């Protein structure tokens, strides 16, 4: 798979990104993690999504330990990470309350911690993890400029921002993407202007939890989830693909050209996501899945 830019002059990521949120739960050795990274890269999934807080501030370090076993692999990968959430943790003894912090001081400290943990000299993309009510767009812009000039962060973006919040920060410093949640059980970005903005500005959104954390396939027995699961199974059988492939294809069908972040330890699950790149849903198939999530037909 070819790497594609998120925007003009932006970072080039693989069309499917591997999410590392649960890596600490997998209980792997550094060698097992490295094997997973290498197998993902063989599929063309060379971009990996992190956040400093994942695994209670341990996931970046686990990933970095794996890369230390094969340092030359770093140049084939694109590393995305996030900052701006402060959790109370023994690994961050100066954090006394869960809070958001997008001050320049905190962003710089987070970047330095991430670089050390990931055993790398640069971050391909740094995202502000959550909107901060005290966000100073000018301060973030000055910090972003300094980190870019130092070569420590190549590109900046945000995660979970509303269109207005994105507009505010983008006016101060160019943003490459907004990483958001989108799947048939969370249709809000289709109607609240988030994806309209992404399409208008040509900033491809990254999509976290395209399978609703696995709830589209199993576990969630709510009426909506069961309805979506039945429709996914029916349409997938007719098209000759797996429900997981179909769910990713549903996200990919949007004209903003989303980039799904798939968090899984199973290479077969990554393979199913990659298969979605070859499937273009017809409008009626896409709408049938939307209707199952919404619980009603289009108005």
- Residues annotated catalytic, as ranges: 54
Q: Give me 91's structure tokens.
A: 């690994």
Residue linked to tokens 């409008």: 283
Report d(CA 177, CA 160) in Å as an integer: 10
- Cα 150 from chain centre: 25
Report d(CA 233, CA 178) in Å as an integer: 30
Report d(CA 203, CA 258) in Å as an integer: 9
Q: Which of 202, 205, 201 is nearest to 190 (CA)?
A: 205
DSSP structural state of residue 71: G
With contact defined as beta carbons under 8 Å apart, do 182 and 248 qualify? no
With contact defined as beta carbons under 8 Å apart, do 115 and 121 qualify? yes
Q: Give me 17's structure tokens.
A: 């990104």
* Residue 156 parent element (H or E): strand 156-159
Report d(CA 30, CA 214) in Å as an integer: 25
Q: Which of 275, 218, 284 is nearest to 252 (CA)?
A: 275
Q: Give me 47's structure tokens.
A: 């971009």
Q: Give me 28's structure tokens.
A: 């792997």
């Amino acid at each position: 798979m070819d790497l594609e830019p998120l925007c003009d002059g932006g970072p080039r990521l693989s069309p499917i990104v591997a999410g590392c949120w649960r890596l600490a739960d997998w209980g792997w050795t550094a060698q097992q993690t490295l094997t997973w990274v290498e197998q993902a890269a063989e599929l063309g999934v060379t971009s990996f999504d992190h956040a400093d807080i994942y695994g209670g501030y341990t996931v970046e370090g686990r990933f970095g330990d794996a890369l230390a076993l094969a340092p030359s692999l770093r140049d084939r990968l694109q590393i995305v990470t996030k900052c701006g959430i402060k959790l109370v943790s023994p690994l961050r003894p100066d954090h006394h309350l869960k809070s958001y912090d997008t001050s320049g001081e905190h962003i710089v400290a987070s970047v330095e911690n991430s670089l050390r943990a990931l055993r790398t000299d640069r971050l391909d993309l740094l995202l502000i993890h959550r909107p901060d009510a005290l966000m100073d767009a000018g301060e973030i812009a000055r910090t972003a400029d300094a980190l870019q000039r130092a070569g420590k962060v190549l590109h900046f973006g945000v995660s979970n921002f509303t269109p207005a919040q994105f507009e505010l920060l983008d006016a101060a410093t160019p943003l490459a993407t907004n990483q958001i949640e989108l799947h048939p059980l969370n249709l809000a970005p289709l109607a609240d202007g988030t994806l309209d903005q992404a399409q208008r500005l040509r900033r491809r959104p990254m999509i976290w939890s395209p399978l609703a954390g696995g709830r589209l396939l199993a576990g969630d027995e709510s009426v909506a989830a069961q309805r979506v699961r039945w429709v996914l199974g029916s349409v997938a059988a007719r098209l000759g693909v797996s429900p997981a492939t179909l769910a990713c294809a549903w996200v990919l069908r949007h004209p903003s050209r989303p980039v799904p972040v798939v968090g899984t330890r199973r290479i077969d699950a990554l393979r199913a996501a990659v298969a979605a790149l070859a499937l273009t849903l017809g409008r009626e198939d896409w709408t049938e899945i939307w209707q199952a999530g919404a619980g009603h037909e289009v108005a």
